[in-house]
Amino acid sequence: MSGAAVRIDELVGLAGEKLGSSDWHEISQQQVQLFADATGDQQWIHVDPERAKRGPFGVPVAHGFLTLALEPALLDEVIEVSGCSSVVNYGLNKVRFPAPLPVGGRVRMHATLVRAEKRPDDSVEAILALEFELEGGAKPVCVAESVFRYIPSSE
């Protein structure tokens, strides 16, 4: 699924705009385990459901960085930028994990374009404010400010 279609040359004019929200996605124990295996973070609050029942959250929870790693897929559901040869993840300015994301919980991402500017190489640098919402949660499970470079196509 792709989000709203926007051309690379339209990004600068969208600064300050809410871009939209992704669909809801359920987080499975298998997904958490695969992330733990990939990163080597086998902390019991993530990978041991029985022990996690007696832990601080009462259930296993997703790694914060797993939540953040959902960004590219969820962003594709929010916006599709055309006229690019590639999109480069340039980094993060801020990241916080205000609340846990329990296994079995459903999460979606809201995106706002904070700022976009054309760079000397004709790429567009965009700063996106992201909020990952837990369905029924009182606080977001992740808030981040992410930086992307949209590289124009030569066509």
Bridge-based pairing of strands 79-82 and 4-7 is parallel
CA atoms of 141 and 65, how far apart (whole Å):
11
pLDDT in tens, 40-77: 999 999 999 999 999 999 999 999 999 999 999 999 99
pLDDT in tens, 85-142: 999 999 999 999 999 999 999 999 999 999 999 999 999 999 999 999 999 999 999 9
CB of 121 closer than 8 Å to CB of 47:
no
CATH of the domain at 27: 3.10.129.10
Residue 32 phi/psi, 5-degree rounding, is -65, -45
Collapsed DSSP state (helix, strand, coil) of residue 58? coil
Q: Which domain holds residue 20?
A: 4-152
Instruction: Tell me which residue has tokens 């990241």.
Output: 95
CA atoms of 125 and 118, how far apart (whole Å):
6
Residue 4's pLDDT band (boundaries 50, 70, 90)?
A: confident
Collapsed DSSP state (helix, strand, coil) of residue 99? coil
Tell me what percent of the residues of the chain surpass a pLDDT of 70.
98
pLDDT in tens, 13-32: 999 999 999 999 999 999 99
Bridge-based pairing of strands 142-152 and 124-134 is antiparallel
- State both tokens at 31: 């997904």
- Give per-residue burial for 82-114: e unless 16+ CB within 10 Å, then b: ebbeebeeeeeeeeebebbbbbebbbbbbbbbb
pLDDT of res. 155: 64
Total domains in the fold of the chain = 1
Instruction: Centre a 10 Å sphere on the Cβ of residue 136 and count the other Cβ atoms it contains.
Output: 7
